Amino acid sequence: MMKIVNYISEAFEELKSNTTWPAWEEVQRLTIVVAVFSVLFALATWGVDEVCAKFIAAIFNWIKA
C-alpha cells in the first residue's frame, strides 16, 4: 500500500515541478479548435452514415423488386 501512496505522491510532485503547462489563453484557443473539429468530424460521420444507409436501402429495394 505504501508503494501506491509513494507513487501517487511522486507523480503529483513531478506534475508540479517538472511539467511546463501552456498559458491559459492557449488552452482556451486549443479547446475551441478541438471542439470545432469534433463537431465537423461528427457531422461528416453522420453524413457518410446517411449516404451508406440510403445506398444499402436502395440495393435491398432493387433486390426485393
Q: How far apart are CA 41 and CA 51, in angstroms?
A: 15
**Which residue bears the cell 453522420?**
46
Q: How far apart are CA 20 and CA 24, in angstroms?
A: 12
Where in the chain are the domains? 22-65
Q: What is the pLDDT of residue 19?
A: 87
- Does the predicted model carry a pTM greater than 0.85? no
- Predicted confidence (pLDDT) per residue in 15-48, tens digit: 989 888 899 999 999 999 999 999 999 999 999 9
